[in-house]
Homo-oligomer: A and B are copies of this chain.
């Protein structure tokens, strides 16, 4: 049993009384934000992240960090927040609980690369607690995930991304790659297009049975994020592209905007509960096209791309409910 698993086991037996899980998660996501922003700045070489601290009227606040106009990143954001206060009515309804106080903290990131050959990525790691006593919450859980949205998808990229997440899941009893992968396909789905948003990844929510074990999983998932994505950026960022690829990229970004504005629960929730609008909508792509009823010609790279936007068993672990691996 690795050291960190042993430490989690000790904490299960003798929970910490000095620092709440919420505070520990908050410290973790803030450190992760710094680390991820530094790595992304290094990758870009030109642009740097801004830092926009903000306060929430009802309690708490956040730090929104955005990078735009870079060589690699056309627009991207890595945000953390730690908010608390009375549960908004909309949340009472959504969670099916009584009125009371809550605490929520997390990191959320979306990166829109300039190159149509570099996939966009989204990741999110969050903790939510109900009740007045942070050390003994009435209820609390973790959620999160990571998913990849290429414009010109390649199987090797999807496989690398999923392999990293499977490896992380396999190390933790609280995590099941196959379930989380299917939840990701189901969540990032555009019913009106009958398309997944991208090539998936993992998605999990309401993990509440083993808080110490789950926090350990979430930390390792957060730390694994860069290794799931940065190799793909490095693989494609210097590949030449032109107007045709740019047009397809901005067209595909329309799907991203459709999903985020019309279907993403986090975005809708943020807009409906008076979240900081610019932070909630930081995920929207920088430039988007909507062409009426456009379809790629047969046997073009654009037509091949579309075959990727349905669930696939990338790692060949067998699941008859999914599409074939053959693309």
Which of A134-142, A146-154, A255-263 has 4 or more CB atoms under 8 Å from chain B?
A255-263
Among the listed stretches A8-16, A31-39, A157-165, A284-292, which one makes contact with chain B, having 4 or more residues with CB under 8 Å of it? A284-292
From A121-129, A237-245, A274-282, the one touching the partner chain is A274-282
**Residue in chain B with minimal CB distance to A274:** B192
Complex interface: chain B residues within 8 A of A271 (CB): 191-192, 262
Determine how many copies of this chain the complex contains: 2
Docked pose: A81 CA to B250 CA in angstroms = 30
Taking CB atoms and an 8 Å cut-off, the chain A residues in 27-68 that contact chain B are 52, 66, 68
Q: How many residues of A contact B (CB 8 A)?
A: 34
| Separation of A259 and B274 alpha carbons in the complex (Å) | 16
A188 to chain B, nearest CB (A): 16
30 residue pairs bridging A and B, Cβ less than 8 Å apart? A52-B293, A66-B292, A66-B293, A68-B291, A75-B290, A75-B292, A77-B292, A191-B271, A191-B272, A192-B271, A192-B281, A193-B277, A254-B284, A257-B261, A257-B290, A258-B261, A261-B261, A261-B262, A262-B267, A262-B268, A262-B271, A281-B290, A282-B292, A284-B290, A286-B289, A286-B290, A286-B291, A287-B287, A287-B288, A287-B289
Given contacts A257-B261, A286-B290, 17 further A-B contacts (CB under 8 A): A66-B292, A66-B293, A68-B291, A77-B292, A192-B271, A192-B274, A192-B277, A192-B280, A192-B281, A257-B257, A258-B261, A258-B281, A261-B261, A262-B268, A287-B287, A287-B288, A288-B288
